[in-house]
Amino acid sequence: MIQRIISRSQFDNLAIAINTGTNIPSIATPNGQAAFLFLLTSSLAPLIGLSYMRMVKMALPYTIVLSIVGFLSVVYFL
């Protein structure tokens, strides 16, 4: 059996990359953002025409930019 050991620095970098990668998709949904979830469940939602899909569409540009920045950060800084 081959035993492969990584350094503490490599482990820390891997933990950061995994944490960043798993949090980015949750931003694309109102459930992932407290402010969106609050608005969606408040009495203001029907008055301003908010729906779950509309909020997902509103969060999409933010998700795309954050995904790109996260990817570049992992590639160039880790």
Q: What is the pTM of this model?
A: 0.59
pLDDT values of the chain reduced to their tens digit, one per residue, 78 residues: 667 788 888 888 888 788 777 777 777 666 666 777 777 778 888 888 888 888 878 888 888 888 888 888 878 887
Sign for the pseudo-dihedral over CA of 64, 28, 24, 35: positive
Q: Of the candidates 36, 23, 34, which has an alpha carbon nearest to the alpha carbon of residue 63?
A: 23
Q: Residue 20: its pLDDT value, please?
A: 72
